[in-house]
Amino acid sequence: MLSILKLSIITHDSGENSIVTPVIGLSFFAIASGFLMSLVPLSLPYFGLSPSLTPWLASVFYFGLLLGATCIQKVIKRLGHRRAFIVFLCLLALTVVTMILLPHQISWLAARFIAGLAVAGIFVVVESWLLMSNCPKKRAKRLGLYMAALYGGSAAGQLAISVFGTEGITPYLFVLALLFLATLAPVLIRHGQPRSHQQRFNRRDIRHLSRPAIIGCMVSGLLLGPIYGLMPLYISLSGAYADYTGLLMAIVIVGGMAVQPIAGSMSTRMSKSLLMAIICLVGCVAVLGILESTSLVMMGLSLLCLGAASFALYPIAITLACDNLPQEKMVSATEVMLLCYSVGSVLGPLLATTFTDVGNGLIIYLGVCLFSTCVYMLFKSAETLPSGHKPIAG
């Protein structure tokens, strides 16, 4: 690992804004985070905690993400992208240590809240680092690489459930080891962070942001919050697929990773609002497939499509929001979009629990979100289409 990082310094750090550091760090972080998001609800019985704590742990995490999205720029401005990356990774590792040493409801809720703050910092640092380019095509490619690293690492993290299980402290020690490796990238690679004067958004700037972009980010949170926080428990409680929880969760995230090149390519050829509508329609079909599933293969394919639909919304929405923005406002733009995502993520697990009186309540909740968003995006794409303009380029 050390030799790979040193080689990256030699070959890639000659540029002013190298993406090696955030991509390497993000890859290890994504594996740790993906494993941890499923590990937390599944390890509650081992630590003597009630499974009813699951939605609250998910919501308090995303509440920390929400608050963190409002104050990250100050930290980045004072420390710079590289040092801020190190600080947030170390803070996340500290919350994992706290959960191991203090297995109580209050301490776990507090730890997950602080973890949300740290993850918000990691996301804003990495996204703004990669988006700071004068070339829109380069920004799109970098964001595609970011999403691939994030979702690929998260999928690998889900598979760790089968290797390390969910009992004992060994799985948590594995998470700490991955976070240590993630920290090595910004520690050893000292050059290549973006140098740009940052400007905050004022009210006028926010008012001019694309409404479909804002809604897309918010709905992404409404979907991904329950998927990360509640889907592992939903699968484990379904008798037919309980033994395949880690595999099926990995399939969900692989679907999100696999769709990124397709979504990135299509976003330059058609209206992004229309593209989000089509993606939500695919998600609705996936929900029907899950409800009617009679085999592991059918369930896996349906979850693959659900993951593709759910994970594709955020990158399309954030690129729509950042279109034609100067570099100086990229950090603020990513903060606003993360804020919208976090609002949805906080509300998502709690709203999903209102469907518990209905069979397959979580899946029905996801279907309602996807269908309503599909209708909204169809109307917005029709409203914003100029006269005589084709919805698909070429």
Q: Which residue has the higher pLDDT, 370 or 344?
A: 370
- Looking at residue 384, its pLDDT comes to 59
Closest CA to 277 of 320, 237, 239, 248: 320
Residue 285: pLDDT over 50 = yes
pLDDT classification of 335: cutoffs 50, 70, 90: confident
How many CB atoms are closer than 10 A to CB 133?
Answer: 17
For the segment 233-257, the average pLDDT, to the nearest whole number, is 81
**pLDDT tens digits, residue range 105-132?**
899 899 999 998 999 888 888 877 777 6
pLDDT classification of 286: cutoffs 50, 70, 90: very high
Residue 7: pLDDT over 60 = no
- Buried-exposed string 159-180: b where 16+ CB fall within 10 A, e elsewhere: bbbeebebeebebbebbbebbe
Contact 13, 191 (CB under 8 A): yes
Mean predicted lDDT score pLDDT of the chain: 79
C-alpha–C-alpha distance, residues 336 and 321, integer Å: 10
- Looking at residue 13, its pLDDT comes to 39
Both structure tokens of 146: 């970011």
- Looking at residue 253, its pLDDT comes to 79
Both structure tokens of 376: 């909204």
Query: Beta partners for 392?
Result: 270
Both structure tokens of 215: 């809604």
Q: CA dist 28 to 67, 322, 332, Å? A: 24, 27, 26
User: In sequence order, what DSSP letters do the residues of 37-97 get, joined into one string?
Assistant: HHHHHHTTTTTT--GGGHHHHHHHHHHHHHHHTTTHHHHHHHHHHHHHHHHHHHHHHHHHH
Residue 140: pLDDT over 70 = no
Three-state secondary structure string covering 321-340: HHCCCCHHHHHHHHHHHHHH
